[in-house]
Structure 1
Amino acid sequence: MLREKAKVVNRFLAIVDVLIAIISYNLAVYIEQGYLEPLTNKDSIIIHFLLIFFWYTFARAFRLNQLYRSRPYSVVLFGCLSLAVVGTSVLMLFVWILDLYSIGFSRLLMFGGINLTLTFGIKVFNYSFMKRARSKGFNTLNVVIIGDNSARSFLRQMVKMKEWGYHVSAIIGNEELEQEFGAIAPFLPEDTDIEQLLRDKTIDEIIYCKETPAIRDIERLLQLTSEVGVVFRMYSSFFNMLTNKTQLHYFGTTPMLTISNTPLNYLELRVKDAFDFLFSAFVVIVLSPVYVLVALAIKIDSKGPVFFKQKRVGRRGRKFIVYKFRTMVTNAEELKEKLMHQNEMDGPVFKMTNDPRITRVGRFLRKTSLDELPQFFNVLIGDMSVIGPRPPLPDEVRQYERWQLRRLSMKPGITCIWQVSGRNNIPFDEWMKMDLEYIDNWSLKLDFIIFLKTIRTMIRCDGK
């Protein structure tokens, strides 16, 4: 069963592009010579290393590993052609610079043609498979469409192109629009409270399609989607509200002004995803003895399960189960009500320095942050990232102010700025602002700094 884990798939697609390049090169060698060169050959070793490096880099640069929902095959072909031409040209340059005499330019030209054919063929197969899956209801995104009569053409495309994978959760428009499209989704009046709608439902995107956009409505929607972290798209004959996070995206032949309120640096985001997966796998494998020792200590210290499972809120309101080593007694939630008057945090969260519910082993695990180790399984699954805003409880989210909802626009993390800046000593509003600042200024450099500070926090046992 396909789940909405497209980013996890993208990690492997870049590796697939590298494997295709290696296979293409060896096919070119076999066609030219009638046999494969042994990998002990110096020139062969060098060219394979160059292939791995450049094809992984260029495949990501041309976004060939990204699964677009409405990308026409002509665009896919252009990307594959760009990869083959640029990649082969760079290989030729390095063959000349490094004096790899055994590798002729004719072989590289043959390799370029084979690589283009295989890459495009596999991409077409992959895209066709994903389109069929989406047409059957898998891997969908929830959208709300706000429009008038000018939205008819786009709505017809949306209904027809099921392979785009968009589920229309609601349509907000006039009666004429309702007569034609009232059967495909719930129809809501034009004065619908959008903010409440976003609170009540899991919505990924709002699409605005009106012949004459109302500037006040656009400003209100821009502010709302910006604050809660939902993608906003607009179709209009003119675009006069461009920001540095704006791009033009095409649904078939329909242009949409897309304003994303989360980081847009594609290559850096892919590096972050790759790091999450590889580092989490490394931690789980290498620290497996620590997992066993901690589990034994918890069992010896107190009765109850080793792991604590709790429902948390992830990206854009999606619920998931977070895993931690149990650090409290089994009836901790029941005792919480009696301790609410000792809460040391403002806002909807509960924190207490000398919490009597914490076990002896649990206190050590919290001080060293070892209780968070099982969350690396959440990262491997794709529900969390290594670094990002901490995932809140559903009850806490229900008490958020509107501007605080935007912290849900990025995947939650095991550690964050708040974790390494004092935790319980920071007021709730300041904590929320830290998370929004992280989203607005995200970069690999910032993640690296937080990562190093997290190691320092663990060594100092600053946890509570």
Structure 2
Amino acid sequence: MVSGVLRMVEFALLFLTGLCIYFYYVGFFNHLAWQYPLAIAAASSLAVVLLDVTDCYQIVSFMRPLANFGRLLMVWAGTFALMALTAFAMKMSQDYSRLVFGTWFVVGFMLIFGLRLLMSKLIRRWARDGRMERRAVIVGGGPAAEVLIRSVEKQPYNDIRICGIFDDRGDKRSPPIVAGYPKLGTVSELIEFARIARIDMLIVSLPLTAETRVLQLLKKLWVLPVDIRLSAHSNALRFRPRAYSYIGSVPMLDIFDRPINDWDSVAKRAFDIVFSIIGIIVFSPVMLATAIAIKLDSQGPVLFHQKRH
């Protein structure tokens, strides 16, 4: 949800800043009245898309704005380079003020970076207060789970709350207590537990080499509406950097994402409301005719409630 809101805020911030600079230097829609706003909106949208592609909307990126200074600058400069190339190719570069876009480049970047600094403080505070807490369970016990738990707990401003461990093994390979966390049951029992305890994430601690075992677990767990991650911190096999997601600096392979996650819930709610209203409007003549027919045929009310026994 934080990432989705920040996307909207940054787009609005860049767009409104560009418009204000245009109004200040050129005047209130005095020159290229619709071309300037369109170009500013396109550049703002492109910047947000490029920030998303370069993983600048990850929580880790929010918490380390200074480390991502170069990436932010490169994305913002790349946005202007693409816009300049487009204007040159369409033979429109002479129509636009270099002063307007030069000022927007400087002011826009300062605002984006300032917003990131502010978000970093807010997210760190929310993490300390537990507002951004994600409830997780570890699937698979033993030494691999212990190493994973220690690695996650060492992360600064960790937002993962480990609720326990689930493993089908009951021998020495999977002791009842691992790194201070109890083994709560088997993988079959995990499905019911995850629904009751409102688990957000399952982290599978098995190595990638245990392919058969991992596939068996996933066949059972994919029915849960949670994020499923495969721990990759101790695997010798390495993938391309974009194949990983991270909990702090601990690499994970994304196996499943919950069907409705973060900003998708807002979009679904808006979709439900809009199309419900449209449906009521479209079918209102039919419902009105039905109500009239009921009233003509019966003396009782059209709308009523009935006790159930």
TM-score (norm 1): 0.49
- The equivalences for 1:413-428 within 5 A come to none
1:207 match: secondary structure: strand
Check whether the contact 1:14–1:59 (CA below 8 A) recurs between aligned residues.
yes
2:243 match: secondary structure: strand
In structure 1, the partner of 2:80 is 88
Supply the distance in 2 between the matched residues of 1:123 and 1:261 (Cα, whole angstroms): 26
Supply the distance in 1 between the matched residues of 2:16 and 2:247 (Cα, whole angstroms): 34
The verdict on how the C-alpha distance between 1:84 and 1:195 changes in structure 2, with shifts beyond 3 A counting, is same
The verdict on how the C-alpha distance between 1:110 and 1:151 changes in structure 2, with shifts beyond 3 A counting, is farther
The question of 1:114 aligning with 2:107 is answered yes
The question of 1:171 aligning with 2:172 is answered no
Partner residue of 2:236 out of 238, 243, 257: 238
Supply the distance in 2 between the matched residues of 1:56 and 1:277 (Cα, whole angstroms): 24
Supply the distance in 2 between the matched residues of 1:21 and 1:289 (Cα, whole angstroms): 38
Counterpart amino acid of residue 217 in structure 1: R
Check whether the contact 2:158–2:248 (CA below 8 A) recurs between aligned residues.
no
Query: Please, which runs of 5 or more residues in structure 2 have no aligned partner?
Result: 168-172, 295-299
2:60 match: secondary structure: coil
Counterpart amino acid of residue 126 in structure 1: M
The verdict on how the C-alpha distance between 1:104 and 1:277 changes in structure 2, with shifts beyond 3 A counting, is farther
Supply the distance in 2 between the matched residues of 1:37 and 1:117 (Cα, whole angstroms): 22
Supply the distance in 1 between the matched residues of 2:114 and 2:176 (Cα, whole angstroms): 41
In structure 2, the partner of 1:222 is 218
In structure 1, the partner of 2:246 is 250
Supply the distance in 2 between the matched residues of 1:41 and 1:139 (Cα, whole angstroms): 47
Check whether the contact 1:135–1:163 (CA below 8 A) recurs between aligned residues.
yes
Query: Please, which runs of 5 or more residues in structure 1 have no aligned partner?
Result: 1-5, 305-328, 335-464
The percentage of aligned residue pairs carrying the same residue is 15
TM-score (norm 2): 0.69
The verdict on how the C-alpha distance between 1:178 and 1:44 changes in structure 2, with shifts beyond 3 A counting, is farther
Supply the distance in 2 between the matched residues of 1:216 and 1:101 (Cα, whole angstroms): 62
2:10 match: secondary structure: helix
Report the Cα offset of residue 248 of structure 1. Answer: 1.4
In structure 1, the partner of 2:32 is 43
The question of 1:301 aligning with 2:302 is answered yes
Q: Encode CA deviations 1:270-316: one digit per residue, 9 max, x unaligned.
A: 7x778646544544666787899979x69942433xxxxxxxxxxxx
In structure 1, the partner of 2:170 is none
The verdict on how the C-alpha distance between 1:212 and 1:219 changes in structure 2, with shifts beyond 3 A counting, is closer
CA RMSD of aligned residues (A): 4.4
The verdict on how the C-alpha distance between 1:278 and 1:302 changes in structure 2, with shifts beyond 3 A counting, is closer
The question of 1:132 aligning with 2:125 is answered yes
The question of 1:68 aligning with 2:58 is answered yes
The verdict on how the C-alpha distance between 1:125 and 1:101 changes in structure 2, with shifts beyond 3 A counting, is same
- Does 1 or 2 have the higher relative contact order (CA < 8 Å, sep 6+)? 2
Aligned residue pair count: 283
Report the Cα offset of residue 168 of structure 1. Answer: 0.8
Q: Encode CA deviations 1:25-72: one digit per residue, 9 max, x unaligned.
A: 356558xxxx44333224253122122134224413432898534345
Check whether the contact 2:43–2:80 (CA below 8 A) recurs between aligned residues.
no
The verdict on how the C-alpha distance between 1:78 and 1:286 changes in structure 2, with shifts beyond 3 A counting, is farther
Supply the distance in 2 between the matched residues of 1:127 and 1:300 (Cα, whole angstroms): 59
The verdict on how the C-alpha distance between 1:284 and 1:110 changes in structure 2, with shifts beyond 3 A counting, is same
Supply the distance in 1 between the matched residues of 2:37 and 2:104 (Cα, whole angstroms): 13
Supply the distance in 2 between the matched residues of 1:229 and 1:278 (Cα, whole angstroms): 21
Supply the distance in 2 between the matched residues of 1:120 and 1:215 (Cα, whole angstroms): 43
Supply the distance in 1 between the matched residues of 2:211 and 2:281 (Cα, whole angstroms): 60
The verdict on how the C-alpha distance between 1:176 and 1:113 changes in structure 2, with shifts beyond 3 A counting, is farther
Supply the distance in 2 between the matched residues of 1:95 and 1:229 (Cα, whole angstroms): 46
Report the Cα offset of residue 85 of structure 1. Answer: 1.6
Supply the distance in 2 between the matched residues of 1:212 and 1:18 (Cα, whole angstroms): 40
Report the Cα offset of residue 136 of structure 1. Answer: 1.7
